[in-house]
């Protein structure tokens, strides 16, 4: 392989390629939904994998993953895409591609499990995963206490977290449980996975926070199954 080609590939992978891939996936999903009944149509949302508790109890566990790629209406897609791009531009370079992808996807699942446990509404959107990224900035602020740039970033996102949580409390259309589940999941995961070349050896701390995340996921799944009435499925 030529040197120029190698350098182009290296430069490409220095960009937030995971962020770009996530954006492409959710845009493609939105286009398909738009031409297949509309992204606000309940039947279409169910068809493409929105979170719906009874179907999850029946075994469609993948509905804990697919909702983070679906959006209800163009404004919903636009807002979450802008936030994802902004967060990804900053965080993917800090965590690395694989860690960033892991935090995004797993915290999104944790958020959807929290929604499954405490909300019986049909839901979709990247917000659970985005709040996971917000949670990771809290971890960065605690880990890099003497880095002014990271401290400023953590403070800025901290304000956004507070604003979004307050809006969630007073708005019935916002899945507050999903947001808080994603936020906590992202914080635990970011601590467990940590960043490349951390300042301090955090092996024990990583194991503890990773265990907390696993316990949280299991507890939320159990609560969700308990809270979904079996009578719903009786003929």
Burial label, 56 (beta-carbon count in 10 A; 0-12, 13-18, 19+): buried
Rounded distance, CA 110 to CA 220, Å? 8
| CATH architecture assigned to 3-230 | Up-down Bundle (1.20)
- Catalytic option among 127, 156, 173, 201: 127
Task: State yes or no: is 127 an active-site residue.
Answer: yes
For 66-113, how does the pLDDT look when each residue is reduced to its tens digit (9 = 90+)? 999 999 999 999 999 999 999 999 899 889 999 999 999 999 999 999
For 182-234, how does the pLDDT look when each residue is reduced to its tens digit (9 = 90+)? 999 999 999 998 765 555 555 677 888 999 999 999 999 999 999 887 654 44
Residue labelled with tokens 């951390």: 198
Residue labelled with tokens 């606000």: 40
Rounded distance, CA 232 to CA 25, Å? 33
Residue 122 DSSP one-character state? -
pTM recorded for the entire structure: 0.87
- Catalytic option among 39, 76, 115, 179: 179
- Spell out the domain ranges in the chain: 3-230
Backbone angle region of 125, left / alpha / beta, with phi > 0 → left and psi within -120 to 50 → alpha: left
For residue 27, count other CB atoms closer than 10 A to its CB: 14
Task: State yes or no: is 76 an active-site residue.
Answer: no
Asked if pLDDT for residue 15 goes beyond 80, the answer is yes
């Amino acid at each position: 392989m030529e040197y120029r080609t190698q350098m182009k590939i290296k430069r490409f992978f220095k960009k937030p390629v995971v962020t770009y891939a996530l954006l492409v996936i959710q845009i493609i999903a939105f286009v398909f939904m738009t031409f297949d009944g509309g992204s606000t149509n309940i039947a279409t949302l169910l068809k493409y994998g929105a979170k719906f508790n009874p179907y999850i109890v029946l075994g469609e566990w993948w509905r804990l993953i697919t909702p983070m790629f679906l959006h209800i209406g163009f404004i919903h897609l636009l807002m979450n895409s802008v936030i994802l791009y902004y967060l990804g531009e900053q965080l993917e370079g800090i965590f690395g591609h694989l860690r960033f992808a892991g935090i995004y996807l797993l915290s999104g699942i944790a958020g959807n499990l929290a929604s499954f446990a405490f909300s019986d509404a049909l839901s979709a959107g990247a917000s659970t995963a985005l709040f996971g990224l917000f949670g990771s900035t809290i971890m960065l602020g605690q880990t890099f206490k003497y880095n002014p740039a990271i401290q400023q970033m953590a403070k800025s996102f901290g304000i956004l977290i507070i604003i979004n949580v307050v809006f969630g409390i007073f708005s019935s259309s916002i899945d507050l449980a999903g947001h808080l589940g994603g936020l906590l999941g992202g914080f635990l995961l970011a601590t467990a996975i940590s960043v490349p070349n951390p300042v301090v050896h955090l092996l024990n701390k990583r194991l503890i926070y990773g265990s907390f995340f696993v316990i949280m996921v299991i507890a939320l799944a159990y609560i969700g199954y308990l809270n979904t009435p079996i009578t719903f499925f009786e003929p």
